Each structure stands twice: as structure tokens, then as C-alpha cells.
A and B are shown apart, each in its own frame.
Chain A
Amino acid sequence: MTAARPRCPQSERAYRTEIRRELRYEKGLAVKTAIAIVLVAALLLVHFYLFR
């Protein structure tokens, strides 16, 4: 394949914005993973200290 052709319908700026948005979503998944881990830890605490 050769270099990018002029028929490209997406501007470089629009492309960068889209990539930034998608990366933000992926980084958000790291936060969601952390939330799920905290929830599991809380449940373990409930099990061992309250309702065992």
C-alpha cells in the first residue's frame, strides 16, 4: 500500500478527536475494573466479619 490517498473523508483533527474519545473510554474501563475489585473486597469483608 502507498501513502494516504486524497480521497480520505476524515480529517486528521476529527481522527485525533475520535481516538482520544476511544482511549478515554478504555481508560474508564480501568476505573470500572477497580470498582468491581473494591466491591468484591467489600463482600469478602461482609462474609468474614459480619455473616460468617
Chain B
Amino acid sequence: MSVFLAVLSWLLVFLVLLGAVPLLAACYEYLLIGVHFRYTHYDLCRPWFPRTAVLIAAWNEAAVIGTTVDRLMQMDYPRDSLRVVIVDDASTDETPQVLAAKVAEYPGNVFHLRRVKGGEGKAAALNHGLALILGDAWMEALLIADADPIFQPTALRRMTRHLSDPDVGAVTAYIKEGAPTNYLTRFIAYEYITGQAVARRSQNVLGAIQCLAGGAQLHSRVNIEALGGKIDNSTLAEDTVTTIETQRAGRRVVFEPHAVVLAEEPGSIVGLWKQRLRWARGNVQITLRYRRMWFRPQPSCGLGSVTFGVLWFSLLLQPFFMIGDSACLLALYMVNGAVAWKAFGILWLANAMSFVFITVLTLLIDPATGRRTWAEGFMFSGAVNLIVMVAAVLTAPMYRLTAEVLSLAGLRVTHGWAVGAVMFIYAWQAGSMALAYLAKLIEPAPLGGVLGRVLLYTAGYGPLMCAVTLASIVRELQGAEAKWDKTEKTGKVAVPA
């Protein structure tokens, strides 16, 4: 029996420590930033201004589309090499009128295509415009953009220069949150440094880009024709399908970190949940669709490499790592409480070190955004996790501090209280996701805005994203209807002078 318990203890310790894999994978991603200067692709670039068609699908975008068109036409790019084609997907607001005014303002540059019957999703609307654009030989490069992003003046020419290398099929820009006006958009702004500026740079190094940003992706004509001249609409992640198919065909995809595009993101937890659920379900569909690609290295592209696979699945399976951690720690506590405490200490010391490395580097990579979002960066994992990480590093002082606080409060720690506290903290990894989900549920209620905010700062933005991923996997397994939920845009992106 004792041998069985010893083996069980070691197995549980192994499973607990396995929980550090996603954070260690993230640290590896961050380490690659240090060598990115060798993988910028600038040595194969030159000034290059192909005739570029900007394709935008718009449905009820009256609040934003006018500004977007204006900013596109003000870009530092030859006017005679730029056309903006907007597919109005049967909008019911003022979008047609706004577009008619823009067509008159920029004759020969702005084109308005009106679909009488809409609602078939973004890909269907894009394909409507794409068929027309490919119908003549004018277009040499295609920029697929959303209706709301604000392109910085140099963004397009910084992207097109990569197409001077015929091996490059597509280029993606650095999407930044353009209106960090409330706590949630500041969280998103911080997240975008990690998800865009960091992750995409590391993918440049690995030679495999995960996803061309839907709001700003540039394709060569050769690439878009090789993709069949249309955007895949069989999944909720048409951008990722396009990205993967481009690379599997042997054409390179490049992330250009200095081509900056500002986008408007949801300002409420409910809106964010809706948007991310769509993205996460798309990723689940992609995982299944390309199930024969993962962990099968190919010389033509890095998508099948072990490193890329570990990074992809670390994100996708992170909720299971968190639930597994909690479950294994609680089981280990039943088997051997002392070993459980030791394993917990090692895991959280690793978490704390990863957190410091990632947070400091994130704030340094994009200092302008970092100055506005540093508080959300430190609260990204939630207040409880932050306290546990501080305790993992400053163990002895935190013990003393806790004892003194309890003593001042006149409280005596009984065995029952100690057991309860330990079990709570072991279960917290899974519990934080549940609390983050509660923040989303409570937000629409009276005082829900304040309560939701308090819950989110307590649970953490990271656990909220994990809860979304878990929900997406559950909905996919249930075979729930996959419909296109548009994120509402209000035009609050701060337009740079």
C-alpha cells in the first residue's frame, strides 16, 4: 500500500508541475524576442508600392466607416496605387449614405458595393468584393481590413515593402487597442502587446505565423489567386485558415511590428466574451481541421514543428492545465499534505518568475501602451494570484506578516481554518475561471458594472480568457450553432494627429 501511495504521490507531483508548461512556453516565446532583430526580413525588402486594393466588409458601420476611409486615403502611399472597395453587407443604418459621400469625395479611389441580401458572415461579404477585384488586372496586392481600424500613415508602405520578395505571400500588421478608455480596454491593450507584438515576433523567429490579423492583412495577388481567389468560410476563423494555407503552399507570411493599426475593442465583459468565444471556437475548429499537421515537421513551413505545436496547444489546453493543477493538488493533499505543499511552492515560484519576466518585458516592448496599462498588467492574473506569487517569492516575510495581522485582529488560526485556507488556495486555479465567468454573468445586472469589475480584478483577465476557451470547447463538442456575432463599433478610437 505504501508503495502505491508513493507512486501515486510522484505521479500527482508530476501532474502538478506539468501545470507550469503554458507559462514556461510563454517565457520561451518572450525569449525569442531577444533574437528577433535577426529575423525581420528587412534584408530582402526594398521600397515597394504595388497597386493595392483595400477590401472592407461593412455591416451597419456608419459610426466608423467614414473615418476609416479618410484615414486610408491619407496614408503615406501613392494615391494612384490605392483603391478602397467597401462591401456593404445590406446595412440597415446610414452606412450607404456615408459611403456614397466618400465615393463622391474620392472618385476613382473609393468604391461602394451594395449586397441586397446580407447576413452570411464576413467571409461571404469579402468574397463578393474579391470576385470583382480579381476580375481585372489592376490589383497587385490586396489589403483585407475591418471597418473600424485606423491605419497609421506609414502602415501600408511598411507592409508592402515585404512583398518585394516574391517568396512572401502575406504580411500582417501590429494591431493595437486604439481606445483604452476603461479598465477592460486597458486589459485588452495590455493583452495585445503579448498577443501581437510579442507572439507574432516570436512566430517570425520560428518561421510560422499563427494568424494574419483579420483587421489588417496584406496579400500578394499571386497568393490570393493561389488560395482559389476567395476566403474560406467553413470555419469561424477564416483568417487563420488563410494564414495556414498560405504557409502550407510554401509562401512566407511575415509580421511587420512597425506597421501599426489601431482598432476598437469591446468595452464590456459581455461584449468581449461574445467576441472571444467566436475566436476561440474558430481555433478549436482549426485544431480539428488541421489535426494531421500538428507535431509533424515539414521542410516547407514551421507550422508542424514541435515548438509551434507546444505553443498552440499550451494556449488551447490552458483551462485544462488549470483545472488539472487544482484537482491534482487537492488529491495530493489527501495523499501527502507535506509533499503537496512543497509541489505547490515550486509551481508558484515558477509562476512568479514567469510572471515577472513576462510582465516586465511586455511593458518594455511597447512603452507607450505600457505606461497606460501597467496596472492591468500587474493585475492580469488577478489579485489572489498576485498575492500567492508574492508569497511564493517572499515566503518568510509573508508568513510573519500574516501571523502579525491575525494577531492584531485577535484571531487564532485553528486547524480547521488552516485546512480550509490550504484547500481554497489549491482549488483557486480552477476557481478563478469560475469567478471570472461570474463577472461576465453579473455584469448586465444592476450595479453589475462595478461588481463585475471587482470580480475581474480579483479573478484576473487571464482566467477570463481561459474560461472563454473552455466554453468554446464545450460549445464545439455540443455542436452548438456557429454564427457570426459582429462586435459593435462606436468610433471611439483616438485618431492620432
Interface residues of A (CB under 8 A from B): 1, 4-5, 7-10, 12, 15, 19, 22-23, 25-27, 29-30, 32-37, 39-40, 43-44, 46-47, 51-52
Contacts and interface: CB of A to CB of B under 8 A. Distances in A.
Contact of A34 (B34, B36, B220, B395): B34
B444 interface: no
30 contacts: A1-B50, A1-B163, A1-B164, A1-B220, A4-B46, A8-B78, A9-B49, A9-B77, A10-B157, A15-B47, A19-B42, A19-B45, A22-B40, A22-B258, A26-B36, A29-B364, A30-B33, A32-B361, A32-B364, A33-B31, A33-B361, A35-B360, A35-B364, A36-B30, A39-B360, A43-B393, A47-B349, A51-B393, A52-B395, A52-B396
A33 B49 contact: no
Contacts of A1: 50, 140, 163-164, 166, 220
A33 B35 CA distance: 9
Contacts of A30: 33-35, 37
B395 A40 contact: no
B195 interface: no
Interface residues of B, number: 45
A43 B37 CA distance: 28
A35 to B, nearest CB: 7
A49 to B, nearest CB: 12
A29 B46 contact: no
Contacts of A46: 393-394
A32 B393 contact: no
Nearest to A41: B353
- Residue from A15, A26, A47 having most chain B Cβ neighbours under 10 A: A26
Contacts of B164: 1, 4
B70 interface: no
B482 interface: no
B37 A36 contact: no
Interface in B344-402: 349, 352-353, 356-357, 360-361, 364-365, 392-397
A35 B360 CA distance: 9
Interface string B175-198: 000000000000000000000000
A17 B463 CA distance: 43
Contact of A51 (B35, B201, B395): B395
A12 B164 CA distance: 14
Contacts of A44: 353
Given A22-B42, A30-B37, A40-B357, 12 more contacts: A4-B48, A7-B78, A8-B49, A9-B49, A10-B157, A23-B42, A29-B36, A35-B360, A40-B356, A43-B353, A43-B356, A47-B395
B152 interface: no
Contact of A29 (B47, B49, B365): B365
A8 B46 CA distance: 11
- Residue from B34, B81, B166 having most chain A Cβ neighbours under 10 A: B34
A24 to B, nearest CB: 9
Nearest to A25: B258
A52 B163 CA distance: 54
CB-based closest 4 A-B pairs:
A33-B34, A26-B37, A32-B364, A36-B361
B140 A51 contact: no
B283 to A, nearest CB: 27
B481 interface: no
- Residue from A7, A22, A29 having most chain B Cβ neighbours under 10 A: A29
B136 interface: no
B167 interface: no
Contacts of A43: 352-353, 356, 393
Contacts of A47: 349, 392-395
B329 to A, nearest CB: 21
A29 B395 CA distance: 32
Contact of A7 (B80, B353, B392): B80
A34 B258 CA distance: 22
B78 A29 contact: no
A40 B49 CA distance: 44
A30 B80 CA distance: 40
Given A30-B37, A51-B395, A52-B395, A10 B349 contact: no
A29 B81 contact: no
Nearest to B361: A36
B350 to A, nearest CB: 11
Interface string B30-63: 1101111100101001111110000000000000
A44 B357 CA distance: 12
